[in-house]
Copies of this chain bind each other. A is one copy, B any other.
Amino acid sequence: MPPRTPDVDPGTDLERHRALRIALNAAPHLSRPAAYRLALEPERWAGAAARGEPPDRLAAALGVPRAQMERALAVAAEAEPRAARELAAAEQLGAAVLLREDPGYPEALRQLDLPPPVLYVRGALFGALFQTAPAVAIVGSRRADAYGLEVADLFARSLAAAGVAVVSGFAYGIDAAAHRGALAAEASAGGVTLAVLGCGLGVDYPRGHGGLAAEIAARGALLTEFPCGLAPRSWHFPVRNRVIAALTAGTLVVQAAPRSGSLVTARHALELGREVWAVPGRIFDERSLGPNALIRDGATLVQHPRDILETLRPAIRDPQPGLFPAAAKQFTPPPATALAEPPPGLAAEILAALAPGAIRLPEEIAAGLGMPVDGVLGALLELELGGWVRRHPGSAYGRA
């Protein structure tokens, strides 16, 4: 690369690169990955065309296909009017336009290898959101059933009430139930939720979610990397799902068909070193095949919001007990030690008296506990039968 032309004012250069990145991000014929890559290093190519560098050399140097490079150079030629149009559209929607260097741009996205060049954010809490609260994604099928919707609502309410920001994709089904559940958490608890869209903020999608969007904007935020007027397309959703995974400490998959978008979010979460939680369901239920497969493949099975809250500690304050009195009775998960539970009573005392690795005679154990040998012998037999202790030659006992 030739040395930077010294007669360019750096302030103006930065402004130009800012406009270029907004224009690149909004360019209709540029792939997302190419836009990500080129927006990372505008100084390496923005002035290159003017300097007569051939596009194929630039493309190879920057790691983008030549066709994408040529499109980007065409965008660069009219970057400023394009960016101005985007900024005006965002202003009309009441949305902030954040670039990577801006203070409101989430640190978790900034740290991605290929961060979204631009975020459009609308809502009350976008700045505070990522600094004050841990965030959890709750995602799942658009075609959820009553079970899935109840689970999404319960987890979202409980997490929001505990001070966790609930992030989802603003779709029908699980996503909407998660947003609504978070909003329904007691007002004192915050009830913060963040919707990440697969289209521009100016597009009314999906139909009928306008009221939900307004509620989310009032208490949380709507966020997208897509330009204001861009309608959703199927390939937008994996792009959105990467942002959802990256923004959160972990992703909870509630119901999802095999090969569905929620599993893409889970895969992104795994790749980014985030947690993946899944709610089990019936094996005959298509919508539970996704979460069940995730669990089989190593995701953490969760049965209660506290399974997630315990992972997030100490980042969060205590969940409010008794938040769901109606569901509380049936919603008592079993102890985590179901299989490792020690035997009760005398047997437990004897087990405690047997240090791991030690071999002791029943008489010694009885003397140590101040108990009759007979009772100790009986309890040792029960412990042996239960697999807790093993009998050694000479009638001595040790832990199994």
Contacts and interface: CB of A to CB of B under 8 A. Distances in A.
- What number of copies of this chain does the assembly contain? 2
A268 B387 CA distance: 8
Contact of A374 (B33, B66, B114, B282): B66
Contact of A36 (B288, B292, B333, B385): B385
Given A295-B295, A297-B336, A373-B60, A33 B258 contact: no
Contact of A336 (B242, B266, B296, B391): B296
Contacts of A282: 147, 280-282
Contacts of A395: 60-63
B295 A301 contact: yes
A400 B295 CA distance: 24
A33 B295 contact: no
A268 B380 CA distance: 17
A399 interface: no
Counting chain B CB atoms within 10 Å of each CB, the highest count among A63, A258, A391 belongs to A63
Contacts of A242: 385
Contacts of A37: 381
Contacts of A62: 395
Interface string A193-217: 0000000000000000000000000
Contacts of A121: none
Counting chain B CB atoms within 10 Å of each CB, the highest count among A301, A338, A373, A375 belongs to A338
Size bin of chain A's contact surface: 35 or more
Given A288-B280, A377-B63, A377-B64, A293 B258 contact: no
Nearest to A272: B387
Contact of A334 (B258, B284, B300, B336): B258
Interface in A288-342: 288-290, 292-298, 300-304, 327, 330-331, 333-336, 338-340
Given A289-B303, A295-B280, A335-B258, A32 B385 contact: yes
A83 interface: no
Interface string A266-284: 1110111000000111111
A303 B292 contact: yes
A150 interface: yes
A363 interface: yes
Nearest to A270: B339
Interface in A352-386: 362-363, 373-375, 377-378, 380-382, 384-386
Interface string A47-80: 0000000000001111111111000000000000
B381 A290 contact: no
Contacts of A304: 283
B338 A375 contact: no
Contact of A293 (B281, B296, B338): B338
A4 interface: no
A293 B114 contact: no
A9 interface: no
Contacts of A279: 283
A375 B391 CA distance: 69
Contact of A59 (B31, B66, B374, B385): B374
Contacts of A31: 378, 381
A86 to B, nearest CB: 23
Contacts of A380: 63
Contacts of A63: 362, 377, 380-381, 391, 395
9 contacts: A36-B381, A62-B395, A68-B378, A113-B384, A242-B385, A258-B334, A259-B334, A280-B292, A281-B282
